[in-house]
Amino acid sequence: MASSLQPLATSLSPQERFQEYLQAKGLRQTEQRKFLIDEVFNQHEHFDADELIERLPRRGSPNYVSSATVYRTLREFVDAGLLKSFQLEGRTVYEHDYGYPQHDHLYCTRCQELFEFTSDELIALRDRVAADQGFRVTGHRLIIQGICQKCSQTRRKKRKQDLV
């Protein structure tokens, strides 16, 4: 997935933040949880549970994690404020939340790529609309759907009238 966002400085690593969450909930850190947090935060990309499971070692291999543990741990990562989840075309997509700025997305419906962007103008508009309604903003999510530049160019080249 395309990304132009840079991580923000944080006082704790995602691993340390998750450890604090587990302690607060009275849960213990397991090897599977440690492996999953490293795997998820090793790269910045959007993913669903099935994509993550596909990247993980298979049953019988070192660091194997069951599908049930993956789904449960992803919910814990969201509860801990490490990941955000949202629905996209019938699937739950996860993205890094901890250590990344508020941002929005462009979604290409052809290649299914998510492009992240930030916009001061959009934030100003959001805040102005909220203020006009006496509304206190705690966050927002915007996903603009369309066709990306690469997919638009690919289609144009294949049209018969363009080849004549």
Task: Give pLDDT tens digits for 54-110.
Answer: 999 999 999 999 999 999 999 999 999 999 999 999 999 999 999 888 899 999 999
Report the binding-site residues for Fe cation: 104, 140
CATH class of 12-97: mainly alpha
Where in the chain do CATH 3.30.1490.190 domains reside?
A: 101-158
Q: Find out if CATH 3.30.1490.190 is the number for domain 101-158.
A: yes
Q: Measure the CA–CA gap between 71 and 97, rounded to whole angstroms.
A: 17
- When computed from its CA atoms, the radius of gyration of the chain, rounded to whole angstroms, is 19
Residue length of the chain:
164
DSSP, collapsed to helix, strand or coil, labels residue 59 as coil
Where in the chain do CATH 1.10.10.10 domains reside?
A: 12-97
Report the binding-site residues: 104, 108, 111, 140, 148, 151
Q: Measure the CA–CA gap between 58 and 72, rounded to whole angstroms.
A: 18
Please, what sign has the CA dihedral across residues 50, 71, 15, 115?
Answer: positive
Report the binding-site residues for Zn(2+): 108, 111, 148, 151
pLDDT, tens only, 124-160: 999 999 999 999 999 899 999 999 999 998 755 555 5
Are 129 and 121 in contact by the 8 Å Cβ rule? The answer is no
pTM: 0.81
